[in-house]
Amino acid sequence: MRKLVAILFGMIMLLGLSAPGGQEFAEQKPDRRYFMRQKLTRTQEALEGIVVADYAMVAKSAQDISVLCMDESWSVIQTMEYADRTKQFQRVADQLAEMAREENYEAVTLKYGELVNQCFACHQAMRGVVPGR
């Protein structure tokens, strides 16, 4: 358990270093980068909720991620692989929200890890597919 908390804390610190600045973030246009930044922010909020055992925060953040996936601006890459990855990511976000509402700590931590792994896998797969990545 201590190892998990240490890993989660390290992820908060790492992700926190790349968090957007307040006013600058609010003024961005809703493009791919904006949505990726929104996803990162909501993922950080979910992690914070896990660390402090605020299940409502985790559930809200996960639900926000799921809603972001439905926005047409999210689907800027028009490939079947990206569409499939987005559906899978959304499914995991929905499961994370559900586990948080049930206050199931073990399941929440596992689903959070799965959610983050979905991000890593998609970004790795899309490198070279998306210009400027």
pTM over 0.75: no
Mean pLDDT of all residues belonging to the chain:
79
Provide the β-strand partners of residue 130.
127
Split at pLDDT 50, 70, 90, the class of 20 is very low
The pLDDT, as a whole number, for residue 76 is 64
| Average pLDDT over every residue of 108-113 | 97
The pLDDT, as a whole number, for residue 86 is 87
pLDDT tens digits, residue range 54-109?
Answer: 999 999 999 999 998 887 666 666 788 888 988 999 999 999 999 999 999 999 99
Q: Is 130 helix (H, G, I), strand (E, B) or coil?
A: strand
Longest Cα pair distance anywhere in the chain, in angstroms?
42
Q: Give the separation between CA 15 and CA 110, rounded to whole angstroms.
A: 18
Q: Give the separation between CA 79 and CA 74, rounded to whole angstroms.
A: 13
Q: Give the separation between CA 87 and CA 83, rounded to whole angstroms.
A: 6
CATH architecture of 2-126: Up-down Bundle (1.20)
Q: Give the separation between CA 80 and CA 36, rounded to whole angstroms.
A: 19
pLDDT at 117 over 90: yes
